[in-house]
Amino acid sequence: MLSSKEIRSRFIDFFEQKAHMFVPSAPVVPIGDETLLFTNAGMNQFKDYFLGLKAAPWKRAANSQKCIRVSGKHNDLEEVGLDTYHHTFFEMLGNWSFDDYFKAEAIEWAWELLTKVYGIDPNRLWATVFAGDPQDGSEPDLEAKDLWKKLTPLPPERILSCGKKDNFWEMGAMGPCGPCSEIHIDLGPDRCDMQHVPGHTCAVNAGCARYIELWNLVFIQFDRKSDGTLERLGANYVDTGAGLERISAVLQNKTSNYDTDLFMPILNAVSDLTGHKYTSKLGNKTDNAFRVIADHIRSLTFSIADGVTPSNEGRGYVMRRILRRAARFGRVLDAHEPFLYKLVPVLAEEMGEAFPEVRQRADFIATVIESEEAGFSRTLDRGLEIFSTAVERAKKAGRKQIDGEDAFQLYDTYGFPLDLTQLLARERGLSVDVKLFEKRMDQQREQARAAQKAGTLKASLSGVELPTTDDSLKYKTDTCKANVMGWINSDGFVTSGSFSDSNTTISLVLDRTCFYAEAGGQVGDVGMITGSEFQFVVEATEKIADCVVHTGKLAEGAVKIGMDVTASVDKNRQASKRNHTATHLLQWALQNVLGDSVHQQGSLVCPDYLRFDFTSPRALTPEEMDKVEQLIRDKIAQAEPVTCSVMPIDAAKQVGAMALFGEKYGDEVRVIAVGAKDESRIKDAFSREFCGGTHVANTSEIGGFKIVKEESISAGVRRITALTGQGLIDHLLTRGQVVDELVALLKTPPERIVGRIQKLLEDNKKLVKDLKTAAQKGGSDAMSEATELLKSAVKIDTVSVVVGQLSACPIEQARQAMDIVKKKGKSAAVVFGMAEADDKVMLLVGVTDDLVAKGIKAGDIVKTIAPIIGGGGGGRPQMAQAGGKDPKKLNDALQKAREIIEVKLTNAS
């Protein structure tokens, strides 16, 4: 029986013997593609080649790609755990041809690998081909059908023609597409899971588990136009994908992917941690929990290894949802303390050989998961209580839905993602009203729409190979001569005519440029492009494949194709250079002070400041901050040379240059060495990093360094914001003005300012303590008054109607009195009024949960009576308050409240 490691390595070895280049898996975070949250297919990293934006550096490629599917149309999250084969993380084995071989070789080699190398019985295999689609005029793939007959021993009855849904692949609504040919395996009649469905017949693509797809061979040969028609591409591509988990289950003779050696070590570890046993059964809550945890820890580990940390937005929020979902399933296994992080070493041991980054960053990954898990554990139990209360309210009201307000409260206060609330609701036969929740998430949807717009530009360029821009001058000069080759707008890449609309943003393409395109954390340059008849203001610079695009608007005149122009970068570029070199010094200093466990997680380099994100389980102490700053200032004072060298990537690694994890590098890389006098002495440098950014020639040009902020941005990740050069001078001048103002205000010399302020703070602290003591006395008066009001309250059936006035006291004391009255009254509607100083008046309304279920809500009552005292207010169904400015009407408001409550109680009974 082959292990999953052998299955993976044999796949790659097979295609390397067929002259394929092994291309390491791309990170699960797509590089330079904002249209995807996560890499969800093997072809993602080759997307630009298929779109024709860039020429592939190899004719043939193969790899095992890490994939995560948790969003969009590829979202398997809700199915995980319920069956034997859905996963959020999986490996996609694949081979690709970039206008080299086509259908014949792809079919022949796939058959050879499956039957000869893996030893699968040919009599169990079936093939499908595209049957054509009369609606869009696409022809059946007779070529592939004939090749299956010619190149394999498959009989005609096991070569099936299927429709567009199963056998035609498209990247999107427009762009490259083509027919595909799938290889399926018959697992035997006993694997059918649809015997209970009337009239069901086992067959390929019939929906049952007897026949499963093993491998999809996609033949990209068409371009889908905006009108839906198909045009033949000028090149042919092959894109194949086979799930490692599924193939492992077949070759290891397992009925479930989770029973393979990819999952069993994790499942065994979960069993050891929780004391529960995994039995491989479906429809069993305990086994479902095992499968969810085993799947989710894989997604969490690989995403964190590739730079995603749990947060409240984008990819980070998806990971936070997955982690909290896994933590909740841990409760099913009686795991009430953080435990997921203990699974990371198990996964690192099993997967570290194929994916070294998991092994290298295992400690950091475990730290992030443990921190996030511990934070959620503190609110999970309380959140589950709130959820149970929401369920009771729904049942008492005769509803089959959890209220949207409750769902949002669980999200906002207790960190329950909506899908976790929906999961809990489904387990109780309920659904969730998501309309209100969705309104609160408008901001995220706006971000998603922005991401889709970002992808529109590339979509409009489908099939167009943009020219390569010579941007080597960005390292040498701030101005250069160039020629206009075209511009990009919503219509695509324009290469003829002129453009004069000063209100429309376009992206100019030149044959050469000195502008730096945004990359590696450094913002793109801004500036001007001028010609004899126009001026163009560059607001941003970015790269699409190897083409630099200068985005902005015309300031005057009209630009024409072929014009000679001058490209001039804004003078602020020098500030960006200072900040970029200082960022390298910062990483070096942090590693010196905190150790080699510090790894860069991201950065932002712009003219105004620099920002550096790095791994650390804790905040820096003031002493560590001082040490980091002093190390950097020393290197600035020592005027260390900054040397750049372009070299093969292997040579760069040999001299100890650091790569930014998750970044995509070519065969040659640019190394920035601080402290090396020339390229021959790079090993002498104290800082060596892969970097394509712009830098100063000597550290003395940085002109000072100051950390202005150090903060946490997520579990295990800290952020430092710092200033250099003119930005630092401006900062110090502003701080100096503040000191001068304090000197004048406190009439104290600068050297004694700190002591003077400390004395003021101590005096203020004593005053606050005295006031608190007085407030507590007033609070006890409020408590006794509230108790008396309860004793004299009107009773309607079993409900106490407590309405009256309290002496002036802090609102917190009044709320405490309200809670005590509600608790003692058991079923009560309470309204307190308080006349305060300065002719202000306060109303506080509280209603017990049983009355809220009958439609009597504190917020409704307070909104009705607040106008009587000349004010307004609101709140939750259980507690609401209002303020007003007419204390003379307080008794009228209280009387009105009493009437409203009595009417509502009478109607409710």
> Each residue of 531-545: pLDDT tens digit?
999 999 999 999 988
Comparison of pLDDT for 855 and 548, the residue scoring more:
548
Which of 364-378, 716-730, 779-793, 799-813 has maximum average pLDDT?
716-730
Name the band, by pLDDT with cuts 50, 70 and 90, for residue 106.
very high
User: Residue 446: what pLDDT?
Assistant: 57
Which of 199-208, 411-420, 664-673, 749-758 has maximum average pLDDT?
749-758
Which of 348-362, 433-447, 783-797 has maximum average pLDDT?
348-362
In this model, does residue 821 exceed pLDDT 50?
yes
User: Residue 619: what pLDDT?
Assistant: 92
Comparison of pLDDT for 81 and 243, the residue scoring more:
243
In this model, does residue 452 exceed pLDDT 70?
no
What is the full DSSP assignment across 865-907?
A: HGGGGT-EEEE-SSEEEEEES-GGGHHHHHHHHHHHHHHHHHH
Q: How many whole angstroms separate alpha carbon 256 and alpha carbon 276?
A: 19
Per-residue burial over 825-843, b = 16 or more CB atoms within 10 Å of its CB, e = otherwise:
bebbbbbbbbbeeeebbbb
Q: Are 528 and 568 in contact (CB under 8 A)?
A: yes
Please write the tens of the pLDDT for every residue from 623-648. Answer: 999 999 999 999 999 999 999 999 99
Residue 35 burial (CB < 10 Å; 0-12/13-18/19+)? Answer: middle
Least confident segment among 192-196, 273-277, 564-568, 871-875? 192-196
Please write the tens of the pLDDT for every residue from 412-423. Answer: 666 777 778 888
Name the band, by pLDDT with cuts 50, 70 and 90, for residue 454.
very low
In this model, does residue 444 exceed pLDDT 50?
no
Inter-CA distances, 93 with 122, 436, 685, Å: 20, 42, 41
User: Residue 780: what pLDDT?
Assistant: 58
Comparison of pLDDT for 406 and 379, the residue scoring more:
406
In the chain, the percentage of residues whose pLDDT exceeds 90 is: 53
In this model, does residue 591 exceed pLDDT 70?
yes
Q: Span 341-362, mean pLDDT?
A: 94
What is the full DSSP assignment across 130-171?
A: E--BTTTTBPP-HHHHHHHHHHS---GGGEEEE-HHHHEEES
Please write the tens of the pLDDT for every residue from 314-339. Answer: 888 889 889 988 998 998 999 989 99
Q: How many CB atoms lie within 10 A of CB 746?
A: 14
Sign of CA pseudo-dihedral 629, 634, 639, 640: negative
Comparison of pLDDT for 839 and 49, the residue scoring more:
49
User: Residue 58: what pLDDT?
Assistant: 93
In the chain, the percentage of residues whose pLDDT exceeds 70 is: 94
Q: Span 612-616, mean pLDDT?
A: 91
Name the band, by pLDDT with cuts 50, 70 and 90, for residue 460.
low
Q: How many whole angstroms separate alpha carbon 771 and alpha carbon 548?
A: 65
Q: Please, what is the average pLDDT of the chain? A: 88
Q: 649: which residues sit within 8 A by CB, 6+ positions away?
A: 665, 666, 667, 668, 669
First to last CA, the chain: 71
In this model, does residue 443 exceed pLDDT 60?
no
In this model, does residue 655 exceed pLDDT 80?
yes
Rg of the Cα trace of the chain? 33
Name the band, by pLDDT with cuts 50, 70 and 90, for residue 775.
low
User: Residue 119: what pLDDT?
Assistant: 95
282 phi-psi bin (left φ>0, alpha ψ -120 to 50, beta other)? beta
Q: How many CB atoms lie within 10 A of CB 658?
A: 19
Q: Span 796-825, mean pLDDT?
A: 85
In this model, does residue 409 exceed pLDDT 80?
no
In this model, does residue 171 exceed pLDDT 90?
no
User: Residue 420: what pLDDT?
Assistant: 80
User: Residue 455: what pLDDT?
Assistant: 47
Q: How many whole angstroms separate alpha carbon 265 and alpha carbon 270?
A: 9
Least confident segment among 392-406, 526-540, 689-703, 764-778? 764-778
Q: Are 249 and 156 in contact (CB under 8 A)?
A: no
Q: How many whole angstroms separate alpha carbon 668 and alpha carbon 318?
A: 34
Q: Span 113-126, mean pLDDT?
A: 96
Residue 108 burial (CB < 10 Å; 0-12/13-18/19+)? Answer: middle
Q: How many whole angstroms separate alpha carbon 6 and alpha carbon 240?
A: 20
Q: Are 710 and 594 in contact (CB under 8 A)?
A: no
Q: How many whole angstroms separate alpha carbon 330 and alpha carbon 384?
A: 13
Please write the tens of the pLDDT for every residue from 17-49. Answer: 999 999 999 999 887 676 778 888 888 888 888
Q: Span 274-287, mean pLDDT?
A: 93
Comparison of pLDDT for 462 and 160, the residue scoring more:
160
880 phi-psi bin (left φ>0, alpha ψ -120 to 50, beta other)? beta
Q: Span 293-297, mean pLDDT?
A: 96
Least confident segment among 216-230, 433-447, 801-815, 887-901? 433-447
User: Residue 262: what pLDDT?
Assistant: 97
Name the band, by pLDDT with cuts 50, 70 and 90, for residue 463.
low
Name the band, by pLDDT with cuts 50, 70 and 90, for residue 772.
low
Q: Span 195-210, mean pLDDT?
A: 85
Comparison of pLDDT for 50 and 698, the residue scoring more:
698
Q: 784: which residues sit within 8 A by CB, 6+ positions away?
A: none
